């Protein structure tokens, strides 16, 4: 099972969210994905800074979802 992390940044002031960002990295379990989601959200929060976070009411949402990989089709010779 492979899991992907998607983070969305939103503003309570504008009552909107920007397009979700899905990371290329995959995780083997939900725990590792969630832990990285909290860490990446914290990093972005610190990067944006206290002033802008408070001014625009910025917050983050994130989720971890299983990546569905289709099975390979068998090579059928005719």
Residue 78 scores a pLDDT above 70? no
Q: What is the pLDDT of residue 19?
A: 96
Give the total number of structural domains in the chain.
1
pTM for the model stands at 0.79
- 72 within domain boundaries: no
The whole-angstrom separation of Cα 10 and Cα 18 is 6
- 73 within domain boundaries: no
pLDDT in tens, 8-39: 999 999 999 999 999 999 999 999 999 999 99
- 75 within domain boundaries: no
Q: Is the CB of residue 58 less than 8 Å from the CB of residue 10?
A: yes
Helix, strand, coil % in the chain, rounded to nearest 5: 35, 35, 30
The whole-angstrom separation of Cα 13 and Cα 6 is 22
* Domain ranges, residue 29: 2-67
């Amino acid at each position: 099972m492979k899991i992907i992390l998607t983070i969305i940044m939103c503003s309570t002031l504008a009552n909107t969210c920007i397009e979700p960002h899905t990371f290329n990295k995959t995780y083997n379990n939900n725990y590792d994905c969630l832990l990285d989601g909290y860490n990446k959200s914290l990093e972005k929060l610190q990067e944006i800074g206290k002033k802008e976070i408070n001014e625009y009411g910025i917050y983050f949402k994130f989720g971890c979802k299983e990546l569905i990989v289709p099975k390979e089709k068998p090579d059928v010779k005719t």
